[in-house]
Chains A and B, each alone.
Chain A
Amino acid sequence: DAGITQSPRHKVTETGTPVTLRCHQTENHRYMYWYRQDPGHGLRLIHYSYGVKDTDKGEVSDGYSVSRSKTEDFLLTLESATSSQTSVYFCAIRGLGNTDTQYFGPGTRLTVL
């Protein structure tokens, strides 16, 4: 258990509204990641962070922004949600040690109507 929580776990919103998803970790991991998972596409990287205030884009970053003001929290914001952003969102952390093993949070199921 890497001590990762995500909130909310489920959310239904309407097109055009802003949405923020939160990922919280308790073990001081430096690297954190946001992925989305869709049928037929697998897990795709949205953004990642390599420290407080240090973030970078992933494969599918358009329409998303992130912030990391504290080590333990990594926020994903959809400024104006669209139906194409309906997905399951997973946060992950890079574990300690020599491998790059990632450990995932429980996920957030987001529906944009």
Chain B
Amino acid sequence: GQNIDQPTEMTATEGAIVQINCTYQTSGFNGLFWYQQHAGEAPTFLSYNVLDGLEEKGRFSSFLSRSKGYSYLLLKELQMKDSASYLCAVNSNSGYALNFGKGTSLLVTP
């Protein structure tokens, strides 16, 4: 089985930087995903890491350490529209299905 942990809630200020952590325990690993989900909407894909290191994509970056079972999503220059839930997911060996953490609800305040 797989166990994926991430903080339930975080608050940050507009213009600041926030780091959302995710730890996982898995019997097999084929990649880690981050999704963004605004209230009442579907999750949308943000990033994918399969090798150790940092992947940067505009204001968002994602880091992976496979040996530590650890990832983080870094959001820079926060904007109000970044208020959303951020979902960490790990690839399962079963039908390429994803196992999701419970999500981190991020509130960006003025």
Contacts and interface: CB of A to CB of B under 8 A. Distances in A.
B91 A100 contact: yes
Contacts of A58: 97
B48 A42 contact: no
A102 B103 CA distance: 16
Contacts of A90: 42-43
B48 A107 contact: no
Interface string A81-113: 000000000100010000111111111000000
Ranked 4 nearest A-B pairs via Cβ:
A42-B102, A104-B42, A43-B100, A100-B96
Interface of B: 30-31, 33, 41-45, 48, 50, 87, 89, 91, 94-103
Interface in A56-88: 56, 58
Nearest to A90: B42
B26 to A, nearest CB: 14
Contacts, number: 52
Nearest to B33: A101
A41 B102 contact: yes
Give the secondary structure class of A's interface: strand
B31 A100 contact: yes
A50 to B, nearest CB: 6
Given A42-B100, A99-B48, A99-B50, 15 more contacts: A42-B102, A43-B43, A43-B100, A44-B100, A45-B99, A56-B94, A56-B95, A90-B43, A100-B91, A100-B96, A101-B45, A102-B33, A102-B98, A103-B45, A107-B41
A105 B43 CA distance: 9
Interface string A14-54: 00000000000000000101010000111111001010000
A109 B42 CA distance: 11
15 contacts: A31-B96, A42-B87, A43-B43, A43-B89, A43-B98, A45-B99, A48-B97, A50-B95, A56-B94, A56-B95, A101-B33, A102-B45, A105-B42, A106-B42, A107-B41
A47 B96 CA distance: 12
